[in-house]
Structure 1
Amino acid sequence: MFSKVRWITGLAVIAIIVLAGCNSGSDPALSAIRADVSAQHSEIAALHSELAAVSQQASAPQADESPAASPEDITRLETEIARLSDEMDGKVGLLKADQDSLSKEATGSVEPQEPAFTLQLLHTSDMDSAVGALENVENFSAMLDGFREQFPNNTLVLSSGDNYVPGPRYFAAGDEVNDPLLGIAGNGRGDIAFLNAMGFQASALGNHELDQGTSAFASIIASEIGDAGTYPGASFPYLSSNLNFAPDENLAGLVVADGQEAMLVAGSLARSAVVTVAGQRIGIVGATTPTLASITAAGAIGILPGDSDDLDELAGIIQDAVDELTGQGINKVILLAHMQRLDIEQALATRLKGVDIIVAGGSNTLLADATDRLWHGDVAEDTYPLLYHSADDAPVLLVNTDGDYKYLGRLVVQFDGAGRVIPESIDPYLSGAYATAPQGGQAFAGQPIPEVSRVAESLRGVLSIRDGNIIGRTEVYLDGRRGAVRTQETNLGNLIADAILWTARLVDPDVQVSLKNSGGIRDAIGVVRQPPGTTEPSDVELLPPSANPTTGKVLGDVSQFDIQGTLRFDNGVVIVPLMAQELVEIIEHTVAADDIGSIQSARFPQVGGMRFSFDPSSPAGQRVRSLAIIDDAGEVSDRVVENGVLVGDPERIIKLATLDFLANGGSDYPFPALQTGRVDLSGEAGQYNPPNPDFPDTNGNGVIDEPVAAADPSLADAFNPGREQDALAEYLAHFHAEVPFNQPETTPRHDRRIQNLGIPGKMDTVFD
């Protein structure tokens, strides 16, 4: 059985279609046959309902002493269904032959109407959980492939966006073990491989596609040719009619003309595309939430309308793209609308003209009819599909399902000769939300697509090793978001800086402070969740790392994979003795960028063992107002800057733990050229040392120093000792293997280590 309480055989579907098209004035004998087919159709539907109930009873534990259904009961019902279906097959053949005869006898005096067109639309969206989608995708592919076989020439497969989200499976695809499957391994490419293998033909752009920035998005959808192989990119275009991709340098080269055949513009960006199904040209238009810039890393993408609440303007922008298609003679149009809120998509349905079907996205709203079997605990929010009337009073169907490959949306609908949907043609036993959960022992409509299974197995293999290696625990979201760490102190920045300081003190207990550049923090550790049905940034939930049942990882676990994801550069930890004046110059450099604190800067610091304040309105180089060295008890042990003036001996030595990249002049950090006494915890060999990469003697002692054994307490052996990944891992393993890290993220106004005095109401409390 399929995953519905009742389902209808392909023969019954044909019967309904034939019955709808037969001439009411035909032979009385044929009328009797039609009546028999109609009755048998109802009888088969009732038997399927009984079969579903009996199957569920057979698989469920009995709460009382009532007898369980037997295998004989199931066999009896299946046999009767098969017998009735065979009888109906012959009768349908007679009716079809009669209809063909009537068509041939039609005179040429009346202009013939375009025959009714049947479309099977298979759809999904929001495959944005950390790991849940990976567990469901194979069953999803089996169902999709089976349904496509039933309508091999009349099927369209679409997504309304959020096809992936940065997380374990996203980064697992970047492991080189995936090269043979993906051509060239890369973050997020496994998710695209799933969609390619399942034959998706177009997608709206969601917000999560951009979570890692426009450059990462481009590398995921565009093809790439390398020495080891070729990554094909997406085999479908991404569409959005209210976004202008051209201003973004990472995406401009992927923009193509609108309204082209989707298969010819794979891996490209446009407002619209066309898919030809059984000779019928179907227009596909995309649209994305206008709140995009506030909930993801949209880069330089132009977003319309400027007022995200102006639905009339949004509808007008989408309408322009629709009109371009209808102007070409296309009379069937589907809108892929990733609006994050179903009420917005409902409002668009009544404002647009020429749109027949809207596939919603971003809200995870489960629409299902009364015949649909749902995942345990799920409740449909409304029926499937929803019916509205457009601005020109034509019927519009709106569909949506929950995400993470939990459901496959299936809409089988007829269009009339004018290209309008016929709502009455929708059979609830055929259309609806199909759950991918193997509940009650039911089978699926087909077998998992082999390529989907191969990619899923490879990703699970990577995850089982990396994400299953648990290093520590946190009960809070560790904020490594680009927009946060590059403008303010964050709890993840503090954690990393403290880990670097702790590791350096294993080698030299006199190290006082640490500094990490925010540009090297590449990801958060945790989950950013925009609750379904919301678009407001204030509604965003910051949650600890999610569980991964495939690896035994539970909520709050921090794994090897998490650490490698956030500290991808894995720079070496170094100890550099600095004069107080040199330390101040370095701190001034970290906050010297224009509009610092409001505009992202990769050189913005995250610090340990010190606190400082800065005034962004002062000239660059004169912004630090207070700087203090802090002891382990949080007390001030050395006042370095007061009221913008260096105090005490400017040549007194302060030992700083930082990264070799910075100490070597990366990001233009003004470290002294001669760093006498510098210690490279991972050794000096092999590192790049500007301006002379052939001379790695960083401390000028005349030898290439070996790694420092004391830097490796060997609590986390999966990392390279003396480097930043290992520093964070060893620190978590030492302090937070059992007791979770629990310092929540704070607003900039409440930050203590880095105090931005440009924030209204912010007081300088460095010495308090």
Structure 2
Amino acid sequence: MKKTASYILTFLLILSLGVGLLPNNTVQASQPKVAFWLTVLHNNDGESDLINLGSGLEDFGGAARFKTLVDRLKWDALHGKPPVPTAPRSVVMVSSGDNFLAGPEFNASIKNGVPFYDSIAMDLIGYDAIALGNHDFDFGPDVLADFIQGFSVSNPPFLSVNLDFSAEPRLQQLKNQKRIATSTTIKTPAGRVGIIGATTPMLPYISSPRNVRVNDMVAEAVMAEVRRLETMKINKIILISHLQSITEDLSMVPYLSGVDIIIAGGGDEVLANPGQLLVPGDEGRIFGSYPLWATDSNGVQVPVVTTAGSYAYVGRLVAGFDKAGNLLMIDESQSGPVRVAGGGQPDAVPPDEEVQSRVVEPLIEALNEMSMNVIGASEVALDGTRTNIRSRETNLGNLTADALRWQAAQLAGVYGVSVPQVALQNGGGIRNASIIPAGNITELTTFSILPFPNFVSIVEGVSRDQFKQILENAVSRVEFGDGRFAQISGFRFTWDPTGTAQTLDANGNVVTVGSRVKDVFLDDGTQIVGDGSVIPGPDLTVATIDFLARGGDQYPFRGAAFTTVGVTYQQSLRNYIQSGLGGLITAVQYPEGGQGRITRLP
């Protein structure tokens, strides 16, 4: 077997030339020679940020500039100044997942149809392999299949070693066609390089994979694939993983062997070394050096890298291997994040004309249209001001909570779950921070109200005791303007700010019992809580967003199973206004000040 730490040797000449050897190695009498240089170009978490990095950062990011930069880096990897010592060279380009994301840009893709704008952009950028991330399943397996089938030029394989697609016909068909795989191999002058993909085992709890089955033994699944590749005489192996945090990858390395390089995704961490240009604002959030190192089960040092998302950087790792496929060194002079810049920046690159014309310009036009797309009207001003939405019932809060309950009821049967009696929306997820005047409501307005990639979710079997704890959490920090305050639907409740505030531990277990919630009544008159005491009765089914169902804002669902229904909370609001309300938000149904759903005692 290859990859023993004692095999890797150092010498002063290499150090003087800016080539970084693997950590924790000592000088030996003989020096193994670099026989092959592999440049790994990578990014992760593109998340449909195809135009630029947003207000104030318009000169950075964007898929069109990203494409130009990737082309230049690919050319440099093969034809530019060679690493030292000189040896044959090759280059691969990979993504570590979350290749699209709910929001106005992806909504424009859905409206435009297959191929999605993200598919077009990534197809033109030219990837050798793409990992499947959790957000890639956010709209369900069928939309993911549409996304993959939108690639028609480069046709890269989409990789995950720990997902089983056999119960999802469209995805299984793509696997049969080798468009989805556990791993792939890339031909180079030094033999084939293996690339393995992996996906977070949290996928069922944070996305909508429906019948995709997840093996949560990720390290074991990776090792089985490593051994399979090694039987094929493949001795250079890259893992592209989407485990939600580079910390997860670093902690997995001690259970691996035979993996030479890990490209992480999902954490949006900034890795950088002194003197490297960064997107403004990133200087203060550097997670660590590029690369980070971890020790595998054989004592071998493995470089682990990632980039911040949104097409802000192209990661570049230049790695030297010996003839046996052992990773000898990283060329530090050429490795690191390369920012995507335009405008008057010293490292500016022009946008690629084809990506600009086929992706960026149509998206800009679509967003402009969205801002003019009237989906309904309101007879009344809608209160989303930060102070109010986080402390009391407002009519906009009622509207968003009603939209969750209505949308969940529409789709419950499709997903085989119960119709919810109640709904909860945290005030911190309502972000317009303003009063929306009476008048037309546009599609873009719904994105300003509910901008996050939160998905409508249904939690069954919530006991009345637990439901009271959830409400105690919702009012436990009102005095601090905390975003956990709940806007509600399907019930009403009374609370007393002089009561004891509930406190919870990190797992959502009650540390201090709350006594603020006094009375709770369902819309049908059923009493759940009376004078602070829970009244025994049947469990409840709750509509909410996946962020809260996972325990966000300390909502004590405590790992309860939940079902996401493939619709974002923004889409639920749009759909509710258009279909549920027939396009009109009336003053009778949503009066200023609310309907008395939440009563704060004097």
TM-score range, shorter chain: 0.5 to 0.7
Q: Does the Cα contact within 8 Å between 1:157 and 1:200 map onto a contact in 2?
A: yes
Partner of 1:161: 97
Q: Does the Cα contact within 8 Å between 2:313 and 2:337 map onto a contact in 1?
A: yes
Partner of 1:293: 204
What code does the residue aligned with 2:409 have?
S
Corresponding residue SS for 2:106: helix
- C-alpha deviations, 1:296-339, integer Å up to 9, x for none? 1121111122xxxxxxx431221001111111000110001111
> Structure 1 residues 611, 232: closer, same or farther in 2, change over 3 A?
same
For residues 115-514 of structure 1, the aligned pairs below 5 Å read 116-128=35-47, 132=52, 136-152=62-78, 154-176=90-112, 185-186=113-114, 189-222=116-149, 232=152, 235-256=155-176, 265=178, 268-278=179-189, 280-305=191-216, 313-379=217-283, 380-423=286-329, 425-428=330-333, 430-438=334-342, 441-444=345-348, 448=352, 450-467=354-371, 475=384, 492=400, 494=402
Q: Distance in 1 between matches of 2:153 and 2:428?
A: 31
Deviation at 1:492, TM superposition (A): 2.7
Q: Distance in 2 between matches of 1:521 and 1:595?
A: 11
> Structure 1 residues 391, 736: closer, same or farther in 2, change over 3 A?
same
What code does the residue aligned with 1:543 have?
G
Q: Does the Cα contact within 8 Å between 1:202 and 1:236 map onto a contact in 2?
A: yes
- C-alpha deviations, 1:715-752, integer Å up to 9, x for none? xxxx99x9935947542899999x9x999xxxxxxx97
Deviation at 1:340, TM superposition (A): 0.7
Unaligned runs of 5+ residues in structure 1 are 1-22, 25-33, 43-112, 177-184, 224-230, 257-263, 306-312, 478-488, 498-514, 523-539, 548-552, 567-592, 599-607, 614-623, 630-642, 645-718, 744-750, 754-764
Corresponding residue SS for 1:151: helix
For residues 28-43 of structure 1, the aligned pairs below 5 Å read none
Q: Distance in 2 between matches of 1:345 and 1:558?
A: 44
Deviation at 1:388, TM superposition (A): 2.8
Deviation at 1:401, TM superposition (A): 0.9
Q: Distance in 1 between matches of 2:365 and 2:588?
A: 28
Q: CA RMSD in A?
A: 4.9
Q: Distance in 2 between matches of 1:321 and 1:217?
A: 24
- C-alpha deviations, 1:186-217, integer Å up to 9, x for none? 4x811111111000111111110011111221
Q: Distance in 2 between matches of 1:366 and 1:596?
A: 41
Q: Distance in 2 between matches of 1:452 and 1:546?
A: 30
Q: Does the Cα contact within 8 Å between 1:204 and 1:286 map onto a contact in 2?
A: yes
Q: Percent identity?
A: 26
What code does the residue aligned with 1:136 have?
G
Q: Distance in 2 between matches of 1:541 and 1:415?
A: 53
| Structure label with greater radius of gyration | 1
> Structure 1 residues 462, 736: closer, same or farther in 2, change over 3 A?
farther
Deviation at 1:175, TM superposition (A): 3.5
If asked which structure has higher relative contact order (CA below 8 Å, sep 6+), I would say 2
Q: Does the Cα contact within 8 Å between 2:384 and 2:430 map onto a contact in 1?
A: yes
Q: Distance in 1 between matches of 2:99 and 2:122?
A: 8
Question: How many residue pairs align between the two structures?
Answer: 421
Alignment partner for residue 519 of structure 1, among 397, 401, 410? 410
- C-alpha deviations, 1:81-126, integer Å up to 9, x for none? xxxxxxxxxxxxxxxxxxxxxxxxxxxxxxxx99711111110001
Q: Does the Cα contact within 8 Å between 2:161 and 2:198 map onto a contact in 1?
A: yes
Q: Distance in 2 between matches of 1:136 and 1:341?
A: 23
Q: Does the Cα contact within 8 Å between 1:350 and 1:388 map onto a contact in 2?
A: yes
Deviation at 1:248, TM superposition (A): 2.6
More strand by share: 2
Q: Distance in 2 between matches of 1:120 and 1:324?
A: 24
> Structure 1 residues 326, 453: closer, same or farther in 2, change over 3 A?
farther
Please say which of residues 150-159 and 405-414 is displaced more in the overlay.
150-159
Q: Does the Cα contact within 8 Å between 2:264 and 2:306 map onto a contact in 1?
A: yes
What code does the residue aligned with 1:143 have?
L
Q: Does the Cα contact within 8 Å between 2:161 and 2:221 map onto a contact in 1?
A: yes
Q: Distance in 2 between matches of 1:520 and 1:122?
A: 41
Corresponding residue SS for 1:441: coil
Q: Distance in 2 between matches of 1:447 and 1:611?
A: 52
Corresponding residue SS for 1:162: coil
Give the TM-score normalised by structure 2: 0.59
Partner of 2:477: none
> Structure 1 residues 333, 594: closer, same or farther in 2, change over 3 A?
closer
> Structure 1 residues 518, 421: closer, same or farther in 2, change over 3 A?
same
> Structure 1 residues 564, 372: closer, same or farther in 2, change over 3 A?
closer
Q: Distance in 2 between matches of 1:494 and 1:404?
A: 32
Unaligned runs of 5+ residues in structure 2 are 1-10, 19-31, 55-60, 79-88, 387-396, 414-425, 450-457, 464-487, 494-520, 527-536, 539-573
Deviation at 1:627, TM superposition (A): 3.1
What code does the residue aligned with 2:332 have?
D
Q: Does the Cα contact within 8 Å between 1:222 and 1:232 map onto a contact in 2?
A: yes
Corresponding residue SS for 1:410: strand
Deviation at 1:559, TM superposition (A): 3.5
Give the TM-score normalised by structure 1: 0.47
Q: Distance in 2 between matches of 1:219 and 1:357?
A: 30
> Structure 1 residues 242, 458: closer, same or farther in 2, change over 3 A?
same
Q: Does the Cα contact within 8 Å between 2:41 and 2:317 map onto a contact in 1?
A: yes
